Amino acid sequence: DGGITQSPKYLFRKEGQNVTLSCEQNLNHDAMYWYRQDPGQGLRLIYYSQIVNDFQKGDIAEGYSVSREKKESFPLTVTSAQKNPTAFYLCASSHGQLATNEKLFFGSGTQLSVL
Amino acid sequence: LAKTTQPISMDSYEGQEVNITCSHNNIATNDYITWYQQFPSQGPRFIIQGYKTKVTNEVASLFIPADRKSSTLSLPRVSLSDTAVYYCLVATLAGNNRKLIWGLGTSLAVNP
């Protein structure tokens, strides 16, 4: 089955700890995205990547880092600098053709909580 | 850039038609409008997309007036399983990038 796989489903972070969320896709998509979702705040863009080895900050990139070494993978690291990391994190991908009718495909999300 | 605004919540009953309207006053000429559905603890999934007039698929219809400053997602004869959050999205081009402008979502509760 083609799709996007996020892992783990649930993750707990201790204070001062960095944690990494995994996102893998086998859709052969060039573009990948990370969103953060808090209750009542919709989807807020953290980082996006239009192509391998390139990525751009989104609206709330502070305290997060990403890498895009492979087309299929776009891991997100939540660093200790992110003081309020508890949220639902969503990874998405799209073809990457810069078209306004391009559809996004989402993973099933990772719920990150602070111990 | 377009800003998307949609109601925070709506209530309905099984078998009714539900219409959710999103306003996007500053939509640009080439922007498309897309709607997604999200269930708790899952990622959003595509429902329908349109540019103008009316689009219909097996799950919904999308009505877009001539001025394109709003769009209405129509769910015919809803069931309990349609209880979800519905997001309006306007995609626009900003230079060499595509910018995705999400609404805050409309939480639809379908009651028996």
pLDDT tens digits, A68-112: 999 999 999 999 999 899 999 999 999 987 788 889 999 999 999
> β-strands B106-111, B9-13: how paired?
parallel
Q: Please report residues of B whose CB lies closer than 8 A to that of A4.
A: 43
Mean pLDDT estimate for chain A: 94
pLDDT value of position A1: 57
Record the tokens describing residue A18, joined without a space: 């960095």
pLDDT at position A9 over 80: yes
Q: Could you give the CA distance from residue A115 to residue B10 in angstroms, rounded to a whole number?
A: 35
Please enumerate residues of B whose Cβ is less than 8 A from a Cβ of A: 8, 30-32, 34, 36, 41-46, 49, 51, 87, 89, 91-93, 96-98, 100, 102-105
Q: Please report residues of B whose CB lies closer than 8 A to that of A91.
A: 43
Q: Are the Cβ atoms of B98 and A108 closer than 8 angstroms?
A: no
Residues with Cβ within 8 Å of A51's Cβ and at least 6 positions away in sequence, in order, are A30, A31, A68, A96
- B42 closest CB neighbour out of A43, A45, A109: A109
Query: Which CA distances in Å does B96 have to A99, A104, B99, B101?
Result: 11, 18, 10, 16
Helix (H, G, I), strand (E, B) or coil at B75: strand
pLDDT value of position B1: 67
With tokens 């990403």, the residue in question is A66
Q: Are the Cβ atoms of A100 and B49 closer than 8 angstroms?
A: no
pLDDT value of position A21: 98
Q: Identify the closest residue of chain B to A88 by CA–CA distance.
A: B41
pLDDT value of position A33: 97
Burial of B79 (0-12, 13-18, 19+ CB in 10 A): exposed
Mean pLDDT, rounded, for A50-58: 95
Chain A nearest-CA distance from B104, in A, is: 4
Q: Identify the closest residue of chain A to B87 by CA–CA distance.
A: A42
By percentage, how much of chain B surpasses pLDDT 90?
89
Q: Please report residues of A whose CB lies closer than 8 A to that of B92.
A: 100
Q: Identify the closest residue of chain B to A101 by CA–CA distance.
A: B32
Q: Please report residues of A whose CB lies closer than 8 A to that of B32.
A: 100-101
